[in-house]
C-alpha cells in the first residue's frame, strides 16, 4: 500500500485502484445521470429530488480531488467492450487495515472528505480517513445498544445524502428488550463528531421472542427515501408468520421519508407506499416476505433494489426489485429460494417474485458442496467502478459469510466460486470501487480476477 498525499493506491491483481481516503459508501451519492427518479412529495410538504447517485450506498455528491464520480464511471463502463461471463470471474479480497471489533457495516460520509465510517457490533462507530483508524470512536452508543446475542448489536448505518450540509446519521441497533431501533444523531457540522445527546428514536420494531433475525440494514434510495430491512422476528420457520403478515413490521423492507416529520414522528409515510390507507396494515411497508435480509443496495444506473436474504435450511437467495414493484412479496415463509417451504404461510391470491439467484446449503441439497453453497449470504453491490469495468461492469457481488462462496449475478446469469468467508458487509467508494469488512476486524479492498 502506497500513500500519496491524501490518496491511497492499492495494486490488486494487476490493476490499480484509486481509493480517495478509502471512502466506501453503502449509502449516498453521485451516480448514473441516466437514472433520475424524483422523490414523490409527501402530502403537505415538498420532498427533495434525488438521483440514483444519492442511494445510501453510493458515493458523495461533492467533488473529490482525483476521484471520478460514480455517474461518470458507470457511463464509461456501459460504453466499454463486452465484459467477461460471470462464470469466468473470481473475487479478490486484499487487506487494507485491521483493528476493528466485529464490524457490521461500512459507509462513506458522502461529503468529499474521503472518510469512512464502520459500525462495530458492540455499539461504536469508528472513523477511517486516508487509511488511518481514529483511536477515539466517532460515535459511542454502548449505553443504549444491546449486543448480548450474536445477531444483536449495532447493525446498520446510513448518512444523509447531503451530509456536508445536513450532518445527520441514521443507525439501527437492538435495545434491552430485543426491539430493533432506528435512530438519528446529528453533528454541529460535517467535520464535527455527532452528539450522542442528539439521539432521536425514529422507529421501533418490536422483537420480543427471539434474539436472531433482526435485519437492520439501511440505505437511502434513488427516490430520497430511507429504506430499512427487518428480520422475521426469529425462530425456525417464522413461527408467527410475520413475514407474510402486512400487519407486522417484521420480515419486511420499510420505506420512510425522514426529511420531514408527521404526526409528532421523526418521519412521514411516502404517499406511494403500497399499504397506505389500508386499515390495520403497516403503512411503512414497501416489500413483504423477507426472512433476514443481510444487506441490500440500489443499482447506481437503474435504481433496481438488490437484496440478499438469508435462508432457513436449504437456500440462500438474491432478489432484484424494480422501482415500480413496491408492494411485491419476496416469498418467505411460503417459499424458501425457488422451493416451496410452508403452504400454510402462503397468502391466498398473492404471487411472490422469484429470486434472480439462489445458493444451496451443503448437506441439505443434493450435490451441493461447501465450495458451491452457503449458509448465510452477505449482499453487496452492482459493480460500476472503473478499475474492472472491462471485465465486471454491471456484475452484482455477494459472498457467503459461513463458507466464503462468492455468488455473482449479471443479466439473469449467476455463478459461484471460492472466496473469503467472514464478510459482514460490503461498501462502495466514491468512484464505485468495492470494499468489505470482515467479522475478524479487517477492512478489505475487493477486486476481480479471471478464473
Q: How far is CA 3 from CA 22, 66, 129, 132, in A?
A: 11, 14, 12, 11
pLDDT in tens, 111-140: 888 889 999 999 999 999 888 999 999 999
Confidence of residue 431 (pLDDT cuts 50, 70, 90): confident
What is the chain's mean pLDDT, rounded? 86
DSSP characters for 94-129?
Answer: EEEE---SSEEEEEE-SSSS-EEEEEETTTEEEEEE
Q: Convert the pLDDT of each residue in 29-38 to its tens digit.
A: 333 333 333 3
Find all residues with CB under 8 Å of 383, minimum gap 6, and list them: 392, 393, 394, 395, 396, 397, 432, 434, 448
User: What span, in angstroms and rounded, lies between the C-alpha atoms of 28 and 224?
Assistant: 10
> 3-class secondary structure for 299-321?
CCCCCCEEEEECCCCCEEEEEEE
As a whole number of angstroms, the distance between CA 167 and CA 161 comes to 9
Instruction: Return the C-alpha cell found at 9.
Output: 493506491
Task: Report residue 116 as a C-alpha cell.
Answer: 469512512
Res 360 pLDDT > 70:
yes
Quote the pLDDT of residue 113: 87
Look at residue 112 in the predicted model and tell me its pLDDT: 84
What confidence tens digit (pLDDT) does each residue in 251-295 have?
Answer: 999 999 999 999 999 999 999 999 999 999 999 999 999 999 999
Q: How far apart are alpha carbons 397 and 409 in whole angstroms?
A: 7
In contact, 37 and 52? CB cutoff 8 Å: yes
As a whole number of angstroms, the distance between CA 286 and CA 292 comes to 15
What value does the mean pLDDT take over residues 437-444?
98
Q: How far apart are CA 341 and CA 201, in angstroms?
A: 36
Task: Place 108 in a pLDDT band, splitting at 50, 70 and 90.
Answer: confident
pLDDT for residue 70: 59
Question: All 3 cell numbers of residue 427?
Answer: 461498501
CB-CB contact of 451 with 90 (8 Å): yes
Into how many domains does the chain fold? 1
Domain carrying residue 180: 2-450
CATH of the domain at 203: 2.120.10.30
Q: Dihedral (C-alpha) 163, 109, 126, 101: value to the nearest 10 degrees?
A: 130
How many CB atoms are closer than 10 A to CB 263?
7
Query: Residue 130 has what pLDDT?
Result: 83
Higher pLDDT, 6 or 166: 166
Per-residue pLDDT at 16 exceeds 60: no
Instruction: Say if residues 341 and 312 touch (Cβ distance below 8 Å).
Output: yes
Q: How far apart are CA 156 and CA 171, in angstroms?
A: 5
Amino acid at each position: 500500500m502506497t500513500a500519496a498525499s491524501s490518496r491511497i493506491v492499492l495494486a490488486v491483481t494487476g490493476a490499480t485502484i484509486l481509493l480517495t481516503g478509502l471512502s466506501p459508501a453503502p449509502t449516498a451519492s453521485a451516480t448514473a445521470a441516466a437514472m433520475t427518479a424524483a422523490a414523490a412529495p409527501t402530502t403537505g410538504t415538498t420532498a427533495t429530488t434525488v438521483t440514483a447517485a444519492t442511494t445510501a450506498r453510493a458515493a458523495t455528491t461533492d467533488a473529490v480531488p482525483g476521484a471520478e464520480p460514480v455517474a461518470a464511471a458507470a457511463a464509461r463502463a456501459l460504453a466499454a467492450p463486452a465484459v467477461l461471463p460471470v462464470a469466468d470471474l473470481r473475487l479478490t479480497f486484499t487487506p487494507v487495515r485491521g483493528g476493528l471489533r466485529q464490524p457490521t457495516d461500512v459507509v462513506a460520509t458522502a461529503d468529499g472528505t474521503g472518510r469512512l465510517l464502520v459500525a462495530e457490533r458492540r455499539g461504536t462507530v469508528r472513523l477511517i480517513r486516508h487509511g488511518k483508524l481514529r483511536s477515539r470512536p466517532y460515535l459511542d452508543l454502548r449505553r443504549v445498544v444491546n449486543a448480548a446475542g450474536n445477531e444483536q448489536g449495532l447493525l446498520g448505518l446510513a448518512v444523509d445524502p447531503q451530509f456536508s450540509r445536513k450532518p445527520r446519521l441514521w443507525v439501527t441497533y437492538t435495545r434491552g428488550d430485543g426491539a430493533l431501533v432506528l435512530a438519528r444523531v446529528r453533528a454541529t457540522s460535517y467535520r464535527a463528531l455527532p452528539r450522542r445527546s442528539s439521539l432521536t428514536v425514529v422507529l421501533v420494531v418490536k422483537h420480543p421472542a427471539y434474539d436472531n433475525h433482526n435485519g437492520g440494514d439501511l440505505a437511502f434510495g434513488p427516490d430520497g427515501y430511507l429504506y430499512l430491512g427487518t428480520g422475521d422476528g426469529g425462530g425456525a420457520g417464522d413461527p408467527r408468520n410475520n413475514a407474510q403478515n402486512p400487519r407486522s413490521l417484521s420480515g419486511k423492507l420499510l420505506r420512510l421519508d425522514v426529511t420531514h416529520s408527521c404526526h409528532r414522528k421523526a418521519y412521514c409515510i411516502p404517499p406511494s407506499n403500497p399499504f397506505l390507507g389500508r386499515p390495520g396494515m403497516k403503512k411503512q411497508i414497501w416489500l413483504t416476505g423477507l426472512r433476514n435480509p443481510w444487506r441490500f443496495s440500489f443499482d447506481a444506473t437503474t435504481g433496481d433494489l438488490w437484496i440478499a436474504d438469508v435462508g432457513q435450511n436449504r437456500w440462500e437467495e438474491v432478489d432484484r426489485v424494480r422501482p415500480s414493484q413496491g408492494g411485491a412479496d419476496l416469498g418467505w415463509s411460503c417459499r424458501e429460494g425457488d422451493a416451496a417451504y410452508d403452504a400454510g404461510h402462503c397468502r391466498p391470491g398473492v404471487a411472490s417474485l422469484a429470486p434472480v439467484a439462489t445458493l444451496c446449503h451443503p448437506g441439505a441439497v443434493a450435490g451441493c458442496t461447501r465450495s458451491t453453497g452457503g449458509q448465510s449470504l452477505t449482499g453487496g453491490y452492482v459493480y460500476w467502478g472503473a478499475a474492472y469495468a472491462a471485465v465486471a461492469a454491471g456484475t452484482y457481488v455477494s459472498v457467503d459469510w459461513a463458507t466464503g462462496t462468492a455468488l455473482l449475478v449479471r443479466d439473469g446469469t449467476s455463478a459461484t466460486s471460492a472466496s473469503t468467508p467472514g464478510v459482514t458487509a460490503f461498501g462502495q467508494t466514491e468512484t464505485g470501487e468495492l470494499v468489505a469488512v470482515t467479522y475478524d476486524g479487517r477492512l478489505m479492498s475487493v477486486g476481480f480476477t479471471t478464473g
